[in-house]
Amino acid sequence: MQSNPLLGRIAWNTLIALLYLFLLAPIIVVFIISFDTRQYLAFPPESFSFGSYVKVFQNVKFISAFWRSLVIGAIVGFVAVSAGMLLSLSLVRYQFRGKAAVGFLILAPFLVPHIVLAVGIMLVIAPLGLLDSYPGIVLAHLGITIPYTVRTITMSLMAVDTRVEEAALVHGASPRMVFWRITLPLVRPGLIAGGVIAFLISFDEATISLFIVSVKASTLPTEIYHYLEYSTDPQIAALSVILILISVAVVMMVEKLIGLRKAL
Amino acid sequence: MADHHVVIDNLVKTYPGAQKPSVDHVSFSLPRGEMLALLGPSGCGKTTILRMIAGLIAPTSGAIRLEGRDVSSIAVYKRNLGMVFQAYALFPHMTVAQNVSFGLEMRKVSRAEREERVRKALDLVKLTGLGDRKVNQLSGGQQQRAAIARSLVIEPELLLLDEPLSNLDAKLRDEMRDEIRDIQARTGVTAIFVTHDQDEALSMADRLAVMSAGRLEQVGTPREIFDRPQTEFVASFIGAGTFFEGRVAEPGLAVVEGLKPLRFVGEAPVGSMVKLMIRPHRLVLAGSSGLPNSFTGTVEHIVYRGQMLTLNVRCGGRLLQADLPTHAGVLPEKGSEVTLAVAPQDVTLVGQVAP
Amino acid sequence: MSAAALPAAGASSANASRGVLLMLLLPGLVALVITFLLPLIWLFRASFASSTMGAFSGGDWTVQSYSAVLFDPFYWRVAWNTLVLGFNVAIFAVILSYPIALFLVRTESRFRGVLTALAVAPLLTSSVVRTYGWMVILGDRGVINSTLQSLSLTGGVIRLTNNSFGATVALIEILMPYAILAMLSGFGRLNPQLEEAAAMLGANRVKVFTRIILPLSAPGVLTAALLVFVLAISSFVTPRLMGGGRVFVLGTEVFNEATVTLNWPLAAALSVMLLILFSSIILLYQRALRALET
């Protein structure tokens, strides 16, 4: 509406800017304080240095947790994408009895609080001796990531015009060739987006992980959590910045591939 | 022109950062009770003009006068105009009656009067008894009618319609075209509508304003626009035709390369280059090739269209299009030689060519 | 996978072989059953078991965990704290998110994509990291306290962390992206043409807001409020870290019983009660949504 008084517009834009500032405040502050040199949490920083970063890289506990998180995230991403691709194919291309039930089961983990799931998973894998193990934490993360991979892959799959596949069949491609040469390349954005989201959820997840792992399979977020219970020094800020940068990379990738809003 | 109901005076709209104005010094006017069509290809600025009249965007310069009063600085919600949006913009959370009643509520009309006027408006657009329906329970044509009722119930000073028929299928479109014309005639409301469809414009409007690239090309009655296009754009945008370039040898006579001299009606200085146009249906079969304004050539292509036969005749290196009535006796065949003739008043001067 | 038999063209989907379908479904379904369905069943079973340290015996059925919770005033206080936290977080997160969502839906800025990503991207940064950010901001020597002190506005330190205030503020911010996302999807019926139409019919800016924008965005707002509420009442990382062990909500108690006290049946019983609370809120929400739509 052009009848906007200029003043109202400025007030509105200021409000939006302030709300954004609130939303991004913790990330901004963590970034600033990661360059502080002191041993304790205080603001504003006294001087500028990369000391905290150096300390993080020398901290064996954090570094090994970082690698573990990376490996766990990668495995979770791969398995969730594979299972998600198969589930999406069955949901998009098949009619079968119980389809609605399967669809509900896939979406249901969105509807159950993580902490409840965490207790349940803990109870299931404890008797199997999988607490604080790689298989245990991977399994725990699969339930909450598969819904995301199914969502992104289903979206990509539904956008594929089946006439393209028919055209390939008519022109002599076997169903196997059609799958590998036509369908799979066409849904690749959804596969990659689903994979990196699954990776990131696993990489950042703290709630469920805290119930499942303690020492041997501890992930980076659980290490940070336990560290924060006793100390809040800028080392954590440096570590957080690294985590944030990984998130930013993933966000940009997903945004480019299929649009962030659709994926979440 | 000054006493006309709606006067658009030197309207300009330049969007921030744009190189060229979207609307470039456009002026036209409209008497009370008439319907004007803003016609042009997409992006020509016609919708921008409509939205400026509505008050939804502010003009860069120029005036919009209703009854001689400049309204261009009045806020949109105080202008008292009706508008039918392209996709109707019916409020999805209200019933049909609530939609129609909305403008009256804003004007603080009493409840009893509101109900009465809503009922009348729904009767007018033949939606009697459908007031309690939800908007999404209406068909496309019914939504259109509801949108018209909503904009007319407030007794607007002017009714604006943005591509009113574009969201309807072909059959409904013909029906709504007559319907809108009928409603407008019965209510006597002055109306402006935007369209890119020349048939729609010619059949519905009392007056056409043809636009191209932000500029007004010509304003006139449908007949004037079709028969006496003043610019090459108008001539080519509305209806088909064959164009010629020629040099004026004497008043009303142009020499066209490869053809006999053409007699035409219109003022052009001797020695200047002019652009001429002949409508296909103005050409007739001629007995002999000796007549003035006649063309002799070979039939290259024939399309039979029931009442009409469309010929493409190769003549002096160019293709001439002619529509002949199929009852015109012996019809030419492909490859045969024909002679076509045209009256001087049907050779239209559509512009001068810069030397 | 047996790609040869994949339903490549979708043309024969009706009579596609059952075997292929089974193979497509099996891996994912097995994973979901193990990591989702089974845990919920186990949880339910465990909540009726007698407590043993770090395990539960499958033999007997008892309601001792439930009675332990229901007859202990401490848990009633915990439940009350959880609800208060949930309501406060939901209300403020929705109020603060609404302008952003509205702005993102209506803006014609060419930075719209970037701004949208910026608003929802915090979802993908670890909540532990963002909680830490709030510890930095609200801590005794944090951004707010040091700013206030350097302006000599306050004598001493204002306690903003290690209490429920800090937990509430941090949760509001951490859950705002969910609210924004829910609103963006719920604002589908908002459309600038409707606002224009209302303005043409004589509605001023206030009327356009109250009569058009607000009713059309109400379902999205309701969904956002529900989402934030359920996420807030089941959170524990943020209340634990921001509360410094002094904030007791259902989430922190579940974690405590499961990993510190190792009373798993009690943890399970608390979880089941949280789930019941959760489900009843969702049912209420569906009622409210239906009421809004008629």
Task: Tell the residue number behind the tokens 């809108």, with chain if given.
Answer: B180
Predicted pLDDT at C85: 95
Q: Do A104 and A170 meet the contact criterion of CB atoms below 8 Å apart?
A: no
Q: Which partners does chain A have (≥3 C-beta pairs < 8 Å)?
A: B, C
Say which residue, C16 or B143, is predicted with more confidence. B143
Q: Which range marks the domain in which residue A134 is found?
A: 52-263
C27, part of any domain = no
Mutate to test the interface with B, among C191, C194, C200 (most CBs of B within 10 A): C200
Six-digit token pair at A198?
């699954």
Q: pLDDT per position in chain B (355 positions), as tens?
A: 557 889 999 999 999 888 899 999 999 999 999 999 999 998 899 999 999 999 888 999 999 999 888 998 888 888 899 999 988 899 988 899 999 999 999 999 999 999 999 999 999 999 999 999 998 899 988 999 999 999 999 999 999 999 988 888 888 888 888 989 999 999 999 999 999 998 899 999 999 999 999 999 999 999 999 988 888 899 889 888 888 888 888 888 888 887 888 888 888 888 888 888 998 888 888 876 667 788 888 888 888 888 888 888 988 778 888 888 887 677 788 888 888 888 888 888 888 877 6
Find, in chain C, the residue whose alpha carbon is nearest to that of A205: C126
Q: How confident is the model at residue C58 (pLDDT cuts 50, 70, 90)?
A: low
C38 CB neighbours in chain A (<8 A) are: 120, 124
Among B31-40, B98-107, C12-21, C23-32, the least confident range: C12-21
CB contact under 8 A, A3 and B57: no
A10, part of any domain = no
How far apart CA A177 and CA A186 sit, in angstroms, is 13
C202 part of contact set with chain A, CB < 8 Å: no
CB nearest C38 (choices: A124, A180, A232): A124
CA distance A40 to chain C (A): 9
CB nearest C201 (choices: B56, B87, B102): B102
Q: Is the pLDDT of residue C57 over 70?
A: no
CB contact under 8 A, A22 and C136: no
Best CATH choice for the domain B240-353 from the list 1.10.274.10, 3.30.2320.50, 2.40.50.140, 3.90.220.20:
2.40.50.140
CB nearest C36 (choices: A109, A224, A247): A109
CB contact under 8 A, C204 and B89: no
| Cβ within 8 Å of A, B 13-52 | none
Counted domains in chain A:
1
How far apart CA C198 and CA B93 sit, in angstroms, is 13
How far apart CA B314 and CA B296 sit, in angstroms, is 8
B80 CB neighbours in chain C (<8 A) are: 202
B107 part of contact set with chain C, CB < 8 Å: yes
Find, in chain A, the residue whose alpha carbon is nearest to that of C101: A16
CA distance C74 to chain A (A): 20
CB contact under 8 A, C234 and A114: yes
Q: Do A230 and A187 meet the contact criterion of CB atoms below 8 Å apart?
A: no
Predicted pLDDT at C86: 93
CA distance C152 to chain A (A): 15
CA distance B252 to chain C (A): 52
Q: Which partners does chain B have (≥3 C-beta pairs < 8 Å)?
A: A, C
C122 part of contact set with chain A, CB < 8 Å: yes
C58, part of any domain = no
CB contact under 8 A, C129 and A224: yes
Mutate to test the interface with B, among A2, A4, A6, A9 (most CBs of B within 10 A): A2
- Complex-level ipTM beyond the 0.90 threshold: no
Nearest residue to C131 via CA among C252, C231, C244, C227: C244
C5, part of any domain = no
C189 CB neighbours in chain B (<8 A) are: 92-93
Residue type at position B326: T
B76 part of contact set with chain C, CB < 8 Å: yes
Q: Which range marks the domain in which residue C162 is found?
A: 69-293
Find, in chain A, the residue whose alpha carbon is nearest to that of B55: A2
CB contact under 8 A, A123 and C136: no
Predicted pLDDT at B11: 93
C211 CB neighbours in chain B (<8 A) are: 102
Q: What is the mean pLDDT of each run of 10 residues along chain A (264 residues)?
A: 67 94 91 77 72 86 92 95 92 86 84 88 89 92 91 89 83 83 88 90 91 89 90 84 87 78 70
Q: Where are the domains of chain B?
A: 6-233, 240-353
CATH of the domain at C135: 1.10.3720.10
Beta partners for residue B64, in sequence order: B8
Q: What is the CATH number of domain B6-233?
A: 3.40.50.300
For A35, B5, B61, B234, C36, the CA distances from B216, given in Å and listed in that order, are 63, 19, 16, 10, 67
B57 part of contact set with chain C, CB < 8 Å: no
Each residue's pLDDT tens digit, B108-162: 999 999 999 999 999 999 999 999 999 889 998 899 999 999 999 999 999 999 9
CB contact under 8 A, B89 and C191: yes
User: CB count, 10 Å around CB of A27?
Assistant: 20
A14, part of any domain = no
C28 CB neighbours in chain A (<8 A) are: 83-84, 86-87, 106, 146, 150
B87 part of contact set with chain C, CB < 8 Å: yes
How far apart CA C125 and CA C113 sit, in angstroms, is 19
Each residue's pLDDT tens digit, C83-122: 999 999 999 999 999 999 999 988 888 888 888 888 888 8
A207 CB neighbours in chain C (<8 A) are: 235-237
CA distance C192 to chain B (A): 9
CB contact under 8 A, C259 and A210: yes
Counted domains in chain C:
1
The secondary structure of chain B, three-state, reads CCCCCEEEEEEEECCCCCCCCCEEEEEEEECCCCEEEEECCCCCCHHHHHHHHHCCCCCCEEEEEECCEECCCCCHHHCCCEEEECCECCCCCCEHHHHHHHHHHHCCCCHHHHHHHHHHHHHHCCCCCCCCCEHHHCCHHHHHHHHHHHHHCCCCCCEEEECCCCCCCHHHHHHHHHHHHHHHHHHCCCEEEEECCHHHHHHHCCEEEEEECCEEEEEECHHHHHHCCCCHHHHHHCCCCEEEEEEEEECCEEECCCCCCEECECCCCCCCEEEEEECHHHCEECCCCCCCCEEEEEEEEEEECCCEEEEEEEECCEEEEEEEECCCCCCCCCCCEEEEECCHHHEEEEEEECC
CB contact under 8 A, A204 and C21: no
Backbone angles phi, psi at B60, to 5 degrees: -70, -40
C196 CB neighbours in chain B (<8 A) are: 54, 56, 76, 83, 85, 89
Find, in chain A, the residue whose alpha carbon is nearest to that of C23: A86
Q: Do A140 and A210 meet the contact criterion of CB atoms below 8 Å apart?
A: no
B55 part of contact set with chain A, CB < 8 Å: yes
CATH of the domain at A195: 1.10.3720.10
A9, part of any domain = no
| Cβ within 8 Å of A, B 79-108 | none
CB contact under 8 A, B102 and C199: no
C197 CB neighbours in chain B (<8 A) are: 83, 85, 89-91, 150
B75 part of contact set with chain A, CB < 8 Å: yes
Q: Which conformational region is residue C251 in: left (phi greater than 0), alpha (psi within -120 to 50 degrees), or beta?
A: alpha
How far apart CA B189 and CA B33 sit, in angstroms, is 5
Task: Tell the residue number behind the tokens 């007794």, with chain if given.
Answer: B155
Predicted pLDDT at A178: 85
Mutate to test the interface with A, among C136, C171, C281 (most CBs of A within 10 A): C136
How does strand B82-84 pair with strand B159-162?
parallel
CB contact under 8 A, B154 and C202: yes
Predicted pLDDT at C14: 46
A103, part of any domain = yes
Q: Which partners does chain C have (≥3 C-beta pairs < 8 Å)?
A: A, B
Beta partners for residue B211, in sequence order: B216
Find, in chain C, the residue whose alpha carbon is nearest to that of B95: C294
